[in-house]
């Protein structure tokens, strides 16, 4: 089983203590967003958890706790962009805090386990293509030798994102302009010994050396685990997504990073309300279980995905 921690929130930044307690207790609860009273009890013991994929913009609170994950395989998706506070309101200083944190994390667990994400790319009067290229080049140079891959994507105009960024004047880019920007980013990553890939993009950039990426990546997981895994593409993700199946343990409306482009937060008010419910000792993130109100707990029968068959070829 693969654990996603998390597409819905930044667990390393805000909920490291909760996550470590879940590891110590050996299980976590996750509420079904499509059926509010259905709760899954997901085992977290290392016998069934093949890999944990962390998604974060700030791993600083978790770095001192990594030794407590010594029995687990894991890697980080670390988003680091050139945006200012108008787009990513609550992040620490990037040059002083986050780039050093990226380097520290890489040196602690290995560059193959820290994937740099520069996404989403949004274009407006301030954040022009040239602005992004300058920021991207500076970050790439700083991270050289500390990651093997960079993942990019262009902003998707979901309805809730349009609402959150209505005053940012983000414009929709043509295929030609996206391809031109991606080509220049590719050249920068080559100079810095990185592979560039895209995340859930319809645009095909293979002709300029950029492949589609899987964030929950079978190849990366097999490399980290040291063996083959039996897993299928995740049917719950959109068609362009290449990720394989995983168990998501996060909760919507619980990320405090304050990113204007976030699809997982509905409003600042809802986030504040949800984060006020945070209890590190709770088995479910920023939530409580109320069986009298109709909550039903379903125990997930998880197993390792590792292929234990011996090959003689």
Determine the pLDDT at residue 313. Answer: 42
pLDDT at 169: 87
Q: What is the DSSP track for 75-140?
A: EEEEE--S--TTTBTTPPPIIIIIHHHHHHHHHHH-GGGEEEEEEEE-BSSSS-HHHHHHHHHHHH
Domain presence at residue 6: yes
Residue 311 is predicted with a pLDDT of: 47
Paired tokens of 21: 């307690």
Q: Give the structural domain span for 89.
A: 2-299
For 43, counting Cβ atoms within 10 Å of its Cβ (0-12 exposed, 13-18 middle, 19+ buried), the class is middle
Single pTM value for the model: 0.94
Q: Estimate the crossing angle of helix 175-191 against helix 129-143, to 10 degrees.
A: 20
CA distances from 249 to 2, 127, 267 (A): 11, 33, 21
Residue 256 belongs to some domain of the structure: yes
Distance separating alpha carbons of residues 291 and 278, to the nearest angstrom: 19
| Three-point CA angle 51, 56, 62, nearest 5° | 75
What is the pLDDT at residue 160? Answer: 63
Question: Do the beta carbons of residue 209 and residue 194 sit within 8 Å?
Answer: no
Order of strands, sheet of 74-79, starting from the edge strand that comes earlier in the sequence: 211-213, 195-199, 149-154, 114-121, 74-79, 51-56, 2-5, 247-248
pLDDT at 191: 97
Is 308 a member of any domain? no
* b/e 176-209 (16+ beta carbons within 10 angstroms → b): eebbebbebbbebbeebebbbbbbbbeeebeeee
Per-residue pLDDT of the chain (313 residues; tens, 9 = 90+): 999 999 999 999 999 999 999 999 999 999 998 898 999 999 999 999 999 999 999 999 999 999 999 999 999 999 999 999 999 999 999 999 999 999 999 999 999 999 999 999 999 999 999 999 999 999 999 999 999 999 999 987 766 666 777 788 898 899 999 999 999 999 999 999 999 999 878 888 989 999 888 999 999 999 999 999 999 998 888 777 889 999 999 999 999 999 999 989 988 999 999 999 999 999 999 999 999 999 999 999 999 999 876 444 4
Contact at 8 Å (CB) between 253 and 242? no
Query: How many domains does the chain fold into?
Result: 1
User: What pLDDT score does 159 carry?
Assistant: 62
Tell me whether residue 312 is in a domain. Answer: no
Please check whether residue 307 lies inside any domain of the structure: no
Evaluate whether residue 131 is within a structural domain. Answer: yes
What confidence score (pLDDT) does residue 309 get?
64
Residue 309 belongs to some domain of the structure: no
């Amino acid at each position: 089983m693969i654990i996603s921690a998390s597409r819905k929130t930044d667990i390393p930044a805000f909920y490291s203590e909760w996550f470590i307690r879940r590891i110590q207790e050996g299980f976590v609860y996750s509420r079904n967003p499509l059926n509010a009273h259905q709760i899954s009890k997901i085992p977290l013991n290392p016998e069934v958890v093949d890999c944990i994929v962390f998604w974060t913009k700030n791993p600083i609170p978790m770095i001192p706790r990594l030794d407590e994950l010594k029995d687990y395989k894991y890697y980080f998706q670390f988003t680091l962009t050139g945006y200012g506070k108008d787009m990513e309101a609550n992040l620490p200083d990037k040059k002083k805090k986050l780039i050093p944190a990226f380097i520290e994390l890489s040196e602690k667990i290995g560059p193959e386990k820290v994937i740099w994400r520069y996404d989403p790319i949004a274009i407006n009067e301030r954040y022009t293509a040239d602005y992004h290229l300058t920021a991207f080049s500076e970050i790439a140079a700083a991270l050289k030798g500390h990651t093997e891959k960079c993942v990019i994507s262009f902003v998707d105009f979901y309805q809730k994102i349009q609402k959150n960024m209505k005053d940012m004047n983000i414009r929709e880019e043509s295929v030609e302009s996206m391809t031109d920007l991606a080509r220049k980013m590719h050249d920068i990553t080559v100079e810095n010994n990185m592979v560039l890939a895209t995340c859930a993009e319809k645009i095909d950039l293979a002709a300029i050396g950029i492949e589609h990426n899987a964030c929950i990546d079978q190849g990366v997981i097999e490399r980290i685990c040291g063996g083959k895994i039996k897993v299928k593409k995740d049917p719950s993700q959109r068609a362009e997504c290449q990720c394989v199946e995983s168990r998501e343990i996060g909760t919507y409306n619980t990320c405090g990073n304050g990113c204007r482009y976030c699809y997982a937060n509905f409003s600042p008010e809802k986030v504040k309300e949800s984060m006020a419910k945070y209890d590190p000792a709770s088995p479910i993130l920023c939530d409580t279980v109320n069986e009298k109100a109709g909550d039903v707990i379903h125990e997930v029968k998880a197993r390792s995905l590792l292929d234990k068959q011996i090959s003689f070829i």
